[in-house]
Structure 1
């Protein structure tokens, strides 16, 4: 019975994959013909099946960019960048899309050691650092075994020093993995999806207006209260917006 269920499940998943591949190719064909709205419909149909990939988000962003859909293009470039953080094509196109936004918000720069650690941590994902750490653990075990069973003084000395170096690298990569995990946990970005959003000082439509934001601007969500989200900008300003005004990047 279990074998039959696994077989049916496999065939269904294979069928969905084939269907999505067909939709992706049709979307690409529409895009190449300049039919960007039709391309978006095909890409969105793939997303509705639960499948996601950097290529899918990238193409979806490109099609929205061609139609001057500011918020969706930035949103999907950001989604693609989450999956492929070192992809230069995504970064370049995202920069072009951001040029269409109205809000010019300063960035409070990190300095010194904090900036160095942050930049180095972002070189890889949490999974990347964790896998690197496991590889170093494996190397440490090999070096230790060679040291333990070797009769050569030279080899013992070399593997002894090497094992300590690799052990240090294990500690460093593990620390970077946990640091990346904590950074990702605190990172809760969203994109403004309305033409103009009034940011309030408190989660109340009658409260004082702090400032206004426009479509495509990226914010950090700090907390939620009923239908309101407390946001923070890169310049340090905070305020409350209606939840419907923004779209969370960490959600499908």
Structure 2
């Protein structure tokens, strides 16, 4: 058993060292202007299972330098999934989006829906779940204090705060389920062909609804065989062939 642990530890160390070497080689090649070779090194990192914001960001930068519109936007978006608040990634992603042809308006959320979604997105599903458990723990402690306290003021405060903690635990649990629902329904994708003819129905004989070009971001709302039903940021719906887009949630 001891030797097995040593062997496993050595394998993890070896893979980690190899990945670090690939990352440094990619960075060196990028700094030398050899962007295609740098892409190969970063891609090998992904093939080794190294999915990090830094790898995606550098890979996106290399594609951007070569004017690869769709891949650069795709990997910037992947980096933002892991580090959504990183200003440098956001800035570079905006530069890449400026290369796209399609100008699609965004329908803004207003009123209560916007406020509700902003609150949900304050934390991840796991963070909301941990928060709910934490409030339950606080409730139990305060309820025990209320149960065994001998001073009336202490009992009153413990009762009120324990009630608030229980309410917050239910609220956090509700938000966790809402966040999970949003995450499941969030299926973004990037158009990877130079031009795609989006259909009104999922077949080639159907009427053409509109056209999209590489780098445009869409939301996948349904799948039927080799077709994806997509939704644009302005609410427009259509069917696109699956091979024309690449899903962002696939790691």
What TM-score comes out, normalization by structure 1 length?
A: 0.91
Bigger Cα displacement from structure 2, 157-166 vs 2-11: 2-11
Written as runs of structure 1 = structure 2, the 5 A alignment for 1:198-209 is: 198-209=197-208
Q: What's 1:76 paired with?
A: 75
User: Which consecutive unaligned segments of at least 5 residues does structure 1 have?
Assistant: none
Q: What is the Cα deviation at residue 177 of structure 1?
A: 0.8
Task: Classify 1:201/1:193 alpha carbon distance in 2 versus 1 (closer, same or farther; 3 Å).
Answer: same
Q: What's 2:84 paired with?
A: 85
Q: What is the Cα deviation at residue 229 of structure 1?
A: 1.5
- Say what the alpha-carbon RMSD is for the aligned residues: 1.8
Q: For 1:86 and 1:105, locate their aligned partners in 2 and report how far apart those are by CA, in whole Å.
A: 24
Q: For 1:86 and 1:140, locate their aligned partners in 2 and report how far apart those are by CA, in whole Å.
A: 33
What's the CA shift string for 1:181-240, capped at 9, x where partnerless? 001111111100011111112222232211110111011112222222221111121112
Task: Classify 1:142/1:34 alpha carbon distance in 2 versus 1 (closer, same or farther; 3 Å).
Answer: farther
Q: What is the Cα deviation at residue 52 of structure 1?
A: 0.8
Q: For 1:128 and 1:35, locate their aligned partners in 2 and report how far apart those are by CA, in whole Å.
A: 41
Q: What is the Cα deviation at residue 87 of structure 1?
A: 2.7
Written as runs of structure 1 = structure 2, the 5 A alignment for 1:88-103 is: 88-103=87-102
Q: What's 2:241 paired with?
A: 242
Q: For 1:133 and 1:27, locate their aligned partners in 2 and report how far apart those are by CA, in whole Å.
A: 43
Task: Classify 1:213/1:141 alpha carbon distance in 2 versus 1 (closer, same or farther; 3 Å).
Answer: same
Secondary structure of the equivalent of 2:198?
strand
Aligned residues: 251
Q: Does residue 112 in structure 1 map to residue 81 in structure 2?
A: no
Q: For 1:30 and 1:152, locate their aligned partners in 2 and report how far apart those are by CA, in whole Å.
A: 72
Bigger Cα displacement from structure 2, 45-54 vs 148-157: 148-157
Task: Classify 1:146/1:89 alpha carbon distance in 2 versus 1 (closer, same or farther; 3 Å).
Answer: farther
Q: Does residue 141 in structure 1 map to residue 140 in structure 2?
A: yes
Q: What is the Cα deviation at residue 99 of structure 1?
A: 1.2
Q: What is the Cα deviation at residue 4 of structure 1?
A: 4.5
Q: Does residue 233 in structure 1 map to residue 210 in structure 2?
A: no
What's the CA shift string for 1:22-41, capped at 9, x where partnerless? 21122222223333222221
Q: What is the Cα deviation at residue 79 of structure 1?
A: 1.2
Q: What's 1:132 paired with?
A: 131
Bigger Cα displacement from structure 2, 219-228 vs 97-106: 219-228
What's the CA shift string for 1:119-149, capped at 9, x where partnerless? 1211221112112222222222232233333
Q: For 2:137 and 2:27, locate their aligned partners in 1 and report how far apart those are by CA, in whole Å.
A: 43
Q: For 1:139 and 1:32, locate their aligned partners in 2 and report how far apart those are by CA, in whole Å.
A: 53
Q: For 1:11 and 1:229, locate their aligned partners in 2 and report how far apart those are by CA, in whole Å.
A: 44
Q: For 1:147 and 1:28, locate their aligned partners in 2 and report how far apart those are by CA, in whole Å.
A: 60
Task: Classify 1:113/1:89 alpha carbon distance in 2 versus 1 (closer, same or farther; 3 Å).
Answer: same
What TM-score comes out, normalization by structure 2 length?
A: 0.92
